[in-house]
A and B are shown apart, each in its own frame.
Chain A
Amino acid sequence: MIELENLGKRFQSLVALDRVSFLARDGSVTGLIGPNGAGKTTCLRLITTVMRPDQGRIVVDGLDAALDPIGVRRRLGVLADARGLYPRLTAREHIRYFGQLHGLSGRALESRIETLIARLDMAEFIDRRAKGFSKGQAMKVALARALVHEPHNLLLDEPTNGLDLQAARAMRALIGELKAQGRCILFSSHIMSEVAALSDRLVILAKGRVAAQGTLAELAAQTGQESIEEIFLALTGERQEQEANR
């Protein structure tokens, strides 16, 4: 479970996040949506503790990120916005490296890697060096290294970005599977249909603030709109801007 309380973050004069609060529950998929620059990635970076908030509190499975960042990182699997690989390491070595950093070793680690190879269909390129991997292959490696320690909480930043149709479908299936295992999944996306199909709860960010949150049905009732796109436009205020532009 991931709790955000009154989170604030600025970059010089730019306010990236302003009093952001929400909750991502276990056994549930929480979708973080918003226009580009709304603060989705910053929000995820604060949770992974690679950035520190200027104000507010982040609690992951009861651990305060400011007091125990290492403990929080142990509880998290992260598919970050940046998902660069090491060109000279093989796919297997990538997964092993992250597994070792999470304290895994020996047989347990190797068999866990085999499970991921099978689940993510990576056998064909697992022992090839990452240089020259397709976007889909690179994504699988990035995902596998995020999952290697079987984290209870998952942060996925635009997980289907750049994937072809088939790979995107596989990713959605995986998210459903992880949810069924009782994990807490927080993912960001700008693809409305995807968010609507996957999420149990939605958090809509606009200009660094939470514009609205709730289930799709709750948000529909709140805005009087039916489709996710209409709801989104109504809540982020972009509808008015678009109409004003016409």
Chain B
Amino acid sequence: MIGRGIAIVFQKEVKDNLRDRRSLALAFLYPLLGPILLGILINLVGGVTRLDPNQSFGLAIIGAEQAPALVDHLKELGVTLRPPPADPQAAVRRGQEGVVLVIPTNFQARLAAGQTADLEVLVDSSRLAGLLAATRIIEAVNAFGRQEGAKRLSRHGLEPDAAQPLKVKTVNLATRANFADFFLFMVPPFLIFTVFIGGVYLAIDSTAGERERGSLEPLFANPLPRAGFMLGKYLAALFFTLMAVVVQLAAFKLMFVSVGAGSGFARVLGAGDALAILAVAAPLAALAVAVQVIIATASRSFKEAQTYLGLLPLVPAMPGLALVFLPLVPQGWMMAVPTFGQTLLFGQLVRGEPIQAAHALIAGAVTLVLALLLLALAARLYEREELIFGG
């Protein structure tokens, strides 16, 4: 009987809120923002950072005519010459040129004399594109330098390696060829944010809103325990929250597939990963909605509840934002901290790393127990007369 009552309240709240633009926006449009923003970011930064050694790129050289051999060497490495700007320093500062290579007028003379020629690479280190281009140019120029050096050594009958006791080679162990992981660290905070905002409008509207409209008193005159009304509304808000997470996961997947053709992104968020994320998110959503119902119940008005709950999602999203810059190794105790544990698990799942079953269990169990305790508190608050008649 109580179960049926809960189902009736649930159905009514879902139907009612499917007709509400604000509820729909929170559940179905807000979740798209994260994937859209990240997609734009990947396109912008990805275009800059795609380090394809065979890809040609333009370079402005001042004094190119001084060093035909060097220029030929650069051209071989895929550099196309751009006309030198009138004011190279200003051009780099304004971002018109990523890098400018300056070859001194005495270049040939110094080389011929067996001396060192000073080259300048003008770069604005606050611009990522310039920094990456500079790295590439310096490497190319250094390679040319090593060739010249080797020629000098062999003229003196020495092995080229004699002047090069060390040789460093970077071995990149990233599972994906590009900066994918950096972007993938940004997915968990978006997911956490959605968990805390997806059902928030319904939670407020069905409690504080209903009281303000004066429909709570007649509703409570119906033969269902107060806790039954609360649970029906709670489950409806939980349903909207999980819908929002599903919408966001689908949007992320779509975005990754569309930006990642040919790159590692296309394989991110397989069906199994998405289901696992949903399973990890569910207890956290149960906790988030319980907090929302409590705040909506304790607030004196819709507006007051909205003020508190508008800020709420930022707090749990914080650890995830920090993790974008400070990756951590997930450990058991971290899983016992609601939102933190989920952030780490989301991160592992998104990056396609295996997660430990024990971790998932600790995170799920601790969060769920906390959610149930808060739900019991919400049920007690629902019994108070102040809920209907204001405090």
Contact = CB atoms under 8 A, between A and B. Distances in A.
Contacts of A146: 218
Given A50-B221, A73-B221, A83 B19 contact: no
B221 A76 contact: yes
Interface of B: 1, 4-5, 8-9, 12, 15-16, 19-20, 210, 213-218, 220-225, 385, 388-389
A82 B221 CA distance: 11
A48 interface: yes
A83 B210 CA distance: 11
22 contacts: A45-B217, A48-B221, A50-B388, A78-B218, A78-B221, A79-B218, A80-B217, A84-B210, A84-B213, A84-B218, A85-B213, A88-B20, A89-B15, A97-B12, A98-B218, A101-B8, A101-B223, A101-B224, A102-B223, A103-B1, A103-B4, A129-B19
Contact of B217 (A50, A70, A85): A50
A145 B218 contact: yes
A97 B389 CA distance: 22
Majority-rule SS of B interface residues: helix
Contacts of B214: 82-84
Given A70-B225, A74-B223, A80 B218 contact: yes
Given A50-B388, A98-B222, A102-B223, A88 B19 contact: yes
Given A82-B214, A86-B215, A51 B385 contact: yes
Nearest to A45: B217
Contacts of A91: none
A83 B214 CA distance: 6
A100 interface: yes
Interface in A29-55: 45, 48-52
Contacts of B217: 45, 50, 80-82
Interface residues of A, number: 34
Given A101-B223, A101-B224, 20 more contacts: A45-B217, A48-B221, A49-B221, A50-B220, A50-B385, A50-B388, A51-B385, A78-B218, A78-B221, A81-B217, A82-B214, A82-B218, A84-B210, A84-B216, A85-B215, A89-B16, A98-B222, A101-B5, A101-B222, A146-B218
Contacts of A93: 12, 15
A142 interface: yes
A230 to B, nearest CB: 34
A70 B224 contact: yes
Nearest to B17: A88
Contacts of A86: 16, 213, 215
B203 to A, nearest CB: 16
Interface in A96-116: 97-98, 100-103
Max count, chain B CB within 10 A of own CB: residue among A74, A80, A85: A80
A70 B218 contact: no
Contacts of A101: 5, 8-9, 222-224
Given A50-B388, A51-B385, A89-B16, A83 B218 contact: yes
Contacts of A45: 217
A162 to B, nearest CB: 13
B16 A80 contact: no
A142 B218 CA distance: 9
Max count, chain A CB within 10 A of own CB: residue among B15, B218, B385: B218
A84 B8 contact: no
A82 B225 contact: no
Contacts of B15: 89, 93
Given A82-B215, A101-B5, A88 B221 contact: no
Nearest to B19: A88
Interface string A55-87: 000000000000000110110101111111111
